[in-house]
Amino acid sequence: MAETRVQEGKAAGAVEQPSPGKSLPRIEVIADFCKGCEICVVMCPRNVLEMRADPSRWVGSVVAVVRPEACTRCMLCEVHCPDFAIKVF
């Protein structure tokens, strides 16, 4: 289970908006590589990712980007994915 971290002076679950001139990260999921292990979901400190049911896949689920605006480009998801199924740009 992912832990929620609260920074002083900020409400739990608050999402920082990108500064002017900074673009949102682009997070690419290669669904054919994803085996549904959930490592990326657990590693993400900002709850950007979650597993979504996909009955057409043999594993039954695939990772989905649900809060791209919360991504800090820490790349923990990409670094820990054993199948290279996620990339952060």
pLDDT in tens, the chain (89 residues): 444 333 444 444 555 555 666 789 999 999 999 999 999 999 999 999 999 999 888 889 999 999 999 999 999 999 999 999 999 99
CATH 1.10.1740.10: does it fit domain 27-88?
Answer: no
Q: What is the pTM of this model?
A: 0.74
Q: Which amino acid is at 19?
A: S
Cα–Cα–Cα angle for 75, 32, 25, rounded to 5 degrees: 30
If one counts every other C-beta atom within 10 angstroms of the C-beta of residue 85, the result is 22
> Tell me, what's the pLDDT at 9?
47
> Tell me, what's the pLDDT at 4?
36
Whether the Cβ atoms of residue 73 and residue 26 lie closer than 8 Å to each other: no
> Tell me, what's the pLDDT at 74?
98
Q: CA 72 to CA 55: how far, in whole Å?
A: 31
